[in-house]
Amino acid sequence: MAERDREAPARCCSYHTVQRWFPVLRWLPQYSLGWLQLDLLAGVTVGLTVVPQALAYAEVAGLPVQYGLYSSFMGCFVYCLLGTSKDVTLGPTAIMSLLVSSYAFHDPAYAILLTFLSGCIQLAMGLLHLGFLLDFVSCPVIKGFTSAASVTISFNQVKNILGLHNIPRQFFLQVYHTFQRIGETRAGDALLGLVCLAVLVGLRAMKGHFPRIHRVELLSIRISRLIVWATATARNALVVLFAGLVAYSFQVMGSQPFTLTGETPRGLPPFQLPPFSKAEANSTVPFSEMVQDLGAGLAVVPLMGLLETVAIAKAFASQNNYRIDPNQELLAMGLTNLLGSFVSSYPVTGSFGRTAVNAQTGVCTPAGGLITGTLVLLSLAYLTSLFYYIPKAALAAVIICAVAPMFDARIFRTLWRVKRLDLVPLCVTFLLCFWEVQYGIVAGILVSGVLLLYTIARPRIKLSEHGVLLMQPASGLHFPAVESLRDAMHRWALAVSPPRCVILDCTHVSSLDYTVVMGLADLLQEFQKRGVTLTFSGLQGHVLQVLLSADLEGFQHFPSVEEAGK
């Protein structure tokens, strides 16, 4: 009996460990028919959103459209097992597609290898609990990047709206050549693209002002409102379907005024190893050279993917009052990309737009992703022949409407009011991202780091009179701040006539390093030479222990400022 009692806690602990690694075990035993109905509705709704978006985002990534669908189903299945948020959906996004376009040279082999390596890096970060590194990417850097990406991606689609070909992908060259060749605009593409944009904007506005459906209303009114809501929610699929039917009608009549997507390989992607080398006309590019070619993408793509997913998961978790595990999210992301590389996926991350649709539709568990993934697989198996007739102008309209809300003009005014110095990393990131994405992100992080280090190196010191001069650092003391503290004491106590005694209030000092201790020892000696005292007050226990163990000559400490001033 005693042995059985000891085994019970061990089994319980083991089960909780398995639950932590596989969050599906937390909600699966409680799954109900009511949850199934809502998950089914959410899965179908998100599926109708993801299919047209996947085709469009593949265009942003510079890859054939089928790669968008190849990238859209693995995350649905993996996240159902490992995800800790009921709302998050993983798949291709505008941001990740832009990064893939920048680093994969519009080559599927490089894109798939980037997916594999990104998954390995993300898995390692999750296993080593390195999610805290994402905290060093500040909000102004993220806002600068996403706003620049919104402008870049939107303008990149203008050529498809106008029906222009052979436009360079570099942003500044793209702007120049687009305006230079605007006279070559195809009327059919331009008209269809503008109509699709107008319809998408109208349906989006309609959904934003749509009143809640109440059970007390007449059944006919509730049904009509439900139809309008479903139309607005599935607007991307409906617009692409409408444009495809129009293009097919013209094809039947023997004329085609639109630029079409063209042939798309039918069927599911083969399950195979990622390309660790690439065959070219007269040579083979080895794995090491491919990795070198990917360059900074091996850092930027995993980082931005994790940042986007964790930020989205946290946002929806706080709105719906549940908790997520950031490290578990990293594992789900990493495994999604790792396994996705075996089915020709390019890197994926959390999608804010589709996650919002998921939440608004009332999804109860990550099982809704199973329905979405199944719809994507069915599309690949049976509908790819119909993608031939989808006009590129319609896909461009879908992309523009998806990324336009990412441009946050209010952030500039907000930072001007809150902290103007934060405008520096925002503007640096925003402007340099138009040149090269990696330069903008790295420069923004560096500028944010410099501003952070400056506050550490030059802490604000509060001065007051308590019979003697009281100096209180507003934050901790670290080795870069030693010179700043020394200069302040010389200016206000030692360089005046006569020299003044000082009480150093260390209430806010939580730790000391060796350089700070040596700097304080030098200051104590200088005060002794001038015949005045430097007294410490408010030292925390472990800080006091450090100073006592250093055996500083002339060291005096009092628990409070009042006692030190007596």
Q: Would you state the pLDDT for residue 346?
A: 97
Q: Would you state the pLDDT for residue 137?
A: 80
Q: Would you state the pLDDT for residue 119?
A: 96
Name the helix (H) or strand (E) containing 24: helix 24-27
Q: Would you state the pLDDT for residue 242?
A: 92
DSSP secondary structure code for residue 260 in this structure: B
Q: Are 475 and 505 in contact (CB under 8 A)?
A: no
Single pTM value for the model = 0.80
- Percentage helix, strand, coil for the chain under 3-state DSSP, each rounded to 5: 65, 5, 25
466 vs 52 pLDDT, higher one: 52
pLDDT tens by residue, 126-167 = 888 887 777 788 888 888 888 888 898 889 889 999 999 888
Helix or strand or coil: residue 246? helix
The mean per-residue pLDDT over the stretch 251-274 comes to: 90
pLDDT tens by residue, 24-46 = 988 999 999 989 988 998 899 88
Q: Would you state the pLDDT for residue 189?
A: 94
> In which band, very low, low, confident or very high, does the pLDDT at 302 lie, cut at 50, 70 and 90?
very high
Q: Would you state the pLDDT for residue 17?
A: 74
Q: Would you state the pLDDT for residue 214?
A: 60
Q: Mean pLDDT of all residues in the chain?
A: 87
> In which band, very low, low, confident or very high, does the pLDDT at 341 lie, cut at 50, 70 and 90?
very high
Cα separations in angstroms, 242 against 220, 260, 390, 394, 428 = 27, 14, 9, 9, 42
> In which band, very low, low, confident or very high, does the pLDDT at 566 lie, cut at 50, 70 and 90?
low
> In which band, very low, low, confident or very high, does the pLDDT at 562 lie, cut at 50, 70 and 90?
low
pLDDT(560) > 90: no
Q: Would you state the pLDDT for residue 30?
A: 92
pLDDT tens by residue, 488-547 = 999 999 988 889 999 999 988 988 999 999 999 999 999 999 999 999 998 988 899 999
pLDDT(564) > 60: no
Q: Are 177 and 168 in contact (CB under 8 A)?
A: yes
> In which band, very low, low, confident or very high, does the pLDDT at 446 lie, cut at 50, 70 and 90?
very high
Could you please report the per-residue DSSP string of 279-344? Answer: E-SS-EE-HHHHHHHHTTHHHHHHHHHHHHHHHHHHHHHHHHT----HHHHHHHHHHHHHHHGGGT
pLDDT(474) > 70: yes
pLDDT tens by residue, 343-368 = 999 999 998 888 888 887 788 999 99
pLDDT tens by residue, 531-557 = 999 999 989 888 999 999 989 888 988
